Chains A and B, each alone.
Chain A
Amino acid sequence: MRDWEALVERQLNGIALDPADSAEVVAELAAHLAETCEELRKQGIGEEEAVWRALSEVDDWQKLRRSIQFARTKENVMTNRVKQFWLPSLLTLLLTMGLLMLIQVFGPHPWVVGLHDRNGWSLIPPVSVVYLPWLLALPLIGALGAFLSCRSGGSHLAVFSSILFPVLPYLVFFLMALPMILILNHQIAHHIMFSALIVGFFGWVLVPGAALLAGGLLAKFFLSRRLDSRRIVSG
C-alpha cells in the first residue's frame, strides 16, 4: 500500500505552517490522492497508471505549497509580502550599504596608492580600494537574500527582486539623472557628464547587479535542487 502521507509531506517540505496545521494539510491531501487512486483502480486502471493520474492533479508542488500557505495563514497579504520580499530585500540593501560604509571607514586608507609594475610606479584610483572588496562580498549578500526569500516560500519574482533590491536606489538615481544630464551636458566643457553617467551606471548598477545575481541565483539553484531531490518519483 502506497504511503500517500509520506509522499505529500515530502512534496510540501518547507511549508511555513505550524506543525499541527501542516500535518492536517498533509493528511487531507493524502486522503484525496488515495481516494482518487482507488476510484481509478475501480475503473480497471492499472496501479502505476492510477498513481500517475492521481499525481498529475498537481503540476507544480511548490506553487501548491505557496497557495496553501497563503490561504491557511491568518496573517494578511502584507505579512507574506514582508517575509518573502521586504525583509530579504531590506536586509540585502542594509548589508550592501553598510558594508560599503564599513570598508570606507575601517578599511585601508591609501587614498592614493602606489603600484609598482614594469613601467615603474603608477597610481590607481582610490575607488578600487573600497569598491573591489565590496564587489567581492556582493555574491554572498545576494545568496542571503535568495535564501531568505526562498525559505519563506517566495515566488521567482520575489526571490529575484530580493537579490537585486540593493542596486535599485542606484538605478533610480541614474534614471532620474539621465534627462538632467542630457539637458546639461552641452553646457559643460568637454561634454563629460554623459560618459561619466555610463561609467557610473556600469560600476554601480550593472556590475554589482551581476555580482548579486551570481550569488543569489546560485543559492536559489542549490535550494531548488535540494527540494527536488526530496521529491518522490512515482514508485
Chain B
Amino acid sequence: MIGPGIKRGTAELAVLSVLEAGPLHGYELARRIEQQTNGALQFTLAALYPMLYRMEQRGWIRGSWQTSQQGRRRRCYRLTAAGKAKLSPLRKEWSELFSALQRLTKVSHA
C-alpha cells in the first residue's frame, strides 16, 4: 500500500494521465484510477474535488456540465492544452524519481 505522502505527489499525475484518454466526470475518474492502479490509489470525495478544482484553477483541466442518458447532470473534466503540456514534464520528473529510488534501494518491479 502506498503511503499518503507519495499519494499526494502522484495524484495530479494520475488525474492528468487518466484524463488524457478522454473526458470523465469526478466519480468515474476516481473509479478509473482505482481500477487501473489495482486499488493502490484511491480518491475519496474529500480528496478528489479540492484537487480537481485546484487543477482547474491552474488551467490544466476544464469542467463542463453534461446530462447523462438517465437525466443526471454531471460535470465532465477534460484535459486542456496547458494540462497536456504539464503532463510531459511531470511524467519525466516522476520517471527520474522512480529510477533514482530504484537505483538507490535496489527495488525492482515484481
Query: If A57-B45, A67-B50 touch, does A27 touch B57 (CB 8 Å cutoff)?
Result: no
Chain A: residues with Cβ within 8 Å of the partner, total of 23
By the criterion CB–CB under 8 Å, are B27 and A71 in contact? no
- Tell yes or no: B98 within 8 A of A by CB: no
Q: How far is the CA of A202 from the CA of B53 in the complex (A)?
A: 47
Q: Quick one: which of A24, A27, A32, A63 contacts B45, CB cutoff 8 A?
A: A32
Q: Quick one: which of B27, B51, B57 contacts A35, CB cutoff 8 A?
A: B27
- Tell yes or no: B73 within 8 A of A by CB: yes
Q: How far is the CA of A219 from the CA of B96 in the complex (A)?
A: 51
- Tell yes or no: B91 within 8 A of A by CB: no
A residues less than 8 Å from B46 (CB atoms):
57-60, 63-64, 67
Q: How far is the CA of A165 from the CA of B110 in the complex (A)?
A: 55
B residues less than 8 Å from A68 (CB atoms):
49-50, 53
Would you call the interface of chain B mostly helix, strand, loop, or mixed?
helix
Residue-wise, chain B 42-72 has the 8 Å CB interface mask toward A (1 for contact) of 0011101111011001000000000000001
B residues less than 8 Å from A63 (CB atoms):
46
Residue-wise, chain A 174-215 has the 8 Å CB interface mask toward B (1 for contact) of 000000000000000000000000000000000000000000
Residue-wise, chain A 18-34 has the 8 Å CB interface mask toward B (1 for contact) of 00000011011101111
Query: If A71-B57, A72-B53 touch, does A58 touch B45 (CB 8 Å cutoff)?
Result: yes
Query: If A31-B27, A36-B27 touch, does A70 touch B50 (CB 8 Å cutoff)?
Result: yes
Would you call the interface of chain A mostly helix, strand, loop, or mixed?
helix
Least CB distance from A26 to B in Å reads: 11
A residues less than 8 Å from B57 (CB atoms):
71-72, 74
Q: How far is the CA of A5 from the CA of B25 in the complex (A)?
A: 17
- Tell yes or no: B26 within 8 A of A by CB: yes
By the criterion CB–CB under 8 Å, are B53 and A31 in contact? no
B43 and chain A: residue at smallest CB distance = A57
Least CB distance from A30 to B in Å reads: 10
Residue-wise, chain A 30-45 has the 8 Å CB interface mask toward B (1 for contact) of 0111111000000000
By the criterion CB–CB under 8 Å, are A71 and B45 in contact? no
B residues less than 8 Å from A27 (CB atoms):
73, 75
- Tell yes or no: B74 within 8 A of A by CB: yes
Least CB distance from B78 to A in Å reads: 15
Residue-wise, chain A 61-83 has the 8 Å CB interface mask toward B (1 for contact) of 00110011011101000000000
B53 and chain A: residue at smallest CB distance = A71
Task: From B25, B45, B75, name the one whose CB has the most chain A CB atoms within 10 angstroms.
Answer: B45
Q: Quick one: which of B26, B51, B53 contacts A32, CB cutoff 8 A?
A: B26
Q: How far is the CA of A71 from the CA of B46 in the complex (A)?
A: 12
By the criterion CB–CB under 8 Å, are A71 and B50 in contact? yes
Task: From A24, A25, A31, A58, name the one whose CB has the most chain B CB atoms within 10 angstroms.
Answer: A31
A-B contact pairs, 26 of them (CB 8 A): A25-B49, A27-B73, A28-B26, A28-B49, A28-B74, A28-B75, A31-B25, A31-B75, A32-B45, A35-B72, A36-B27, A36-B45, A57-B44, A57-B46, A58-B45, A59-B46, A64-B45, A64-B46, A64-B50, A68-B49, A70-B50, A71-B49, A71-B51, A71-B54, A72-B57, A74-B57
Given A32-B27, A68-B53, A74-B57, output 7 extra A-B contacts at Cβ < 8 Å: A28-B75, A32-B26, A32-B45, A32-B48, A58-B46, A60-B46, A67-B50
